[in-house]
Amino acid sequence: MKTKHLISAGDFETDDLTAIFDIAARIKEKPLAHSSMFSGKAMGLIFEKPSTRTWVSFEVGFSTMGGHAIYLGPSDIKLGVREELRDVARVLGRYLDVIVMRTFSHKRILDFARYFGKPVVNGLSDLEHPCQVIGDFFTMRKLFGGFSGKRVAFVGDGNNVLNSLLLVAARLGIRFAFASPKRFMPNQQILERARNIASKTGGKIIMTNQPEKAVKGADIVYTDVWFSMGEEVTAEKRAAFQGFQVNRVLLKQAAQNVRVMHCLPAHRGEEITNEVVEGKESIVFEQAENRLHVQKAILIYLMGMTNKLAS
């Protein structure tokens, strides 16, 4: 294990990701054989934003493996308001074995990790969403049996989900094309880091402002909301995204057996049509389910418990 935390999707190298996928597959196949792995362990969930999938899948995953999970919402500990973050982190480090954090500022998670002393998992920040994306590549690996020759495309906002997709796609050596409007491109440093990683893994990052180009021949078309949690909805941004909707017309450019992915929640009629979410191409609910299995694997891996897996 090379990392203690999962804060950026880039924290995991290729062999870490492969190990996580393998653990997740074993647990998905035999969940009951692992039902007491986290016995005597406690996990905190500090969430400053709403959540359905991340909260419930982490809490259910940890409890059904014998651990105790405690949710700490925005009005509970009032992180940084009632008490300084570094004090909360040092206190919680004495009660908990691992923490999942969902914050606005990415730096807040990095700061917390400096003082907590145990594994910290990013459950979404304004910069990244690593658990989502690792789960999504697990879903793709299951679907294709591997990534060789597969084309993955993203159409939409250059925000947290795309940032993390870039890093994991690069690590896995995948051909990854994305289309975002000029003013809504992904984080420049992450893009450069992903390109640098891809140059070593045989991956390819293709950047465009034209959705049809990104989607051409794609086996996967992925999208995310235009307005993320906590973001102001503006007419200017909506206008910039005209032509960036994932719909049946756009999907005609993709490979014949294209599958459509979305991290959810979806805003039907904006970044994706109802027809596509409900259509035969959609694997959005498989994605959501796999969050559960993959996050169990991430926790096992970060807590150094892989030797305790059932055979």
Phi, psi at 41, each rounded to 5°:
-105, 155
161 binds, among ligand NVA, ligand CP, none (CB under 5 to 8 A by kind): ligand NVA
Q: What is the distance between the alpha carbons of residues 127 and 105, in angstroms, rounded to a whole number?
A: 8
**What amino acid is encoded at 297 in this protein?**
A
264: contact with ligand CP by CB under 6 A: yes
Catalytic site residue 34? no
132: contact with ligand CP by CB under 6 A: yes
Please state, in angstroms and as integers, the Cα–Cα distance from residue 258 to each residue in 187, 218, 246, 250, 254, following that order: 27, 7, 12, 11, 6
45: contact with ligand CP by CB under 6 A: no
The single residue of 34, 129, 141, 175 carrying the catalytic annotation is 129
* Residue 221: both structure tokens together: 């078309």
The single residue of 106, 171, 263, 287 carrying the catalytic annotation is 263
Catalytic site residue 68? no
Q: Supply the DSSP symbol for 97.
A: S
52 binds, among ligand CP, ligand NVA, none (CB under 5 to 8 A by kind): ligand CP
Please state, in angstroms and as integers, the Cα–Cα distance from residue 243 to each residue in 151, 246, 256, 272, 306, following that order: 21, 9, 21, 11, 46
Catalytic site residue 157? no
The single residue of 34, 141, 171, 291 carrying the catalytic annotation is 291
54: contact with ligand CP by CB under 6 A: yes
Which residues contribute to the site for ligand NVA (CB under 6 A)? 124, 129, 159-161, 224-225, 228-229, 263
159: contact with ligand CP by CB under 6 A: no
Answer yes or no: are the C-beta atoms of 180 and 211 closer than 8 Å. no
Instruction: Give the interface size with ligand CP as a residue count (CB under 6 A).
Output: 8
224 binds, among ligand NVA, ligand CP, none (CB under 5 to 8 A by kind): ligand NVA
* Residue 101: both structure tokens together: 């954090």
Catalytic site residue 224? yes
The single residue of 97, 224, 262, 287 carrying the catalytic annotation is 224
CB of 94 to ligand CP, least distance (A): 28
Cα dihedral 176, 198, 140, 105 in deg (nearest 10): -90
Rg of the chain taking only CA atoms, in angstroms: 19
150: contact with ligand CP by CB under 6 A: no
Task: Show Cβ contacts of residue 128 under 8 Å, excluding neighbours closer than 6 positions.
Answer: 7, 8, 9, 106, 122, 160, 163, 164, 167, 190
5 binds, among ligand CP, ligand NVA, none (CB under 5 to 8 A by kind): none
196: contact with ligand CP by CB under 6 A: no
Q: Supply the DSSP symbol for 187.
A: P
Catalytic residues: 102, 129, 132, 224, 263, 291
Residues of the shown chain interacting with ligand CP in the complex, contacts defined by CB under 6 A: 51-54, 124, 132, 263-264
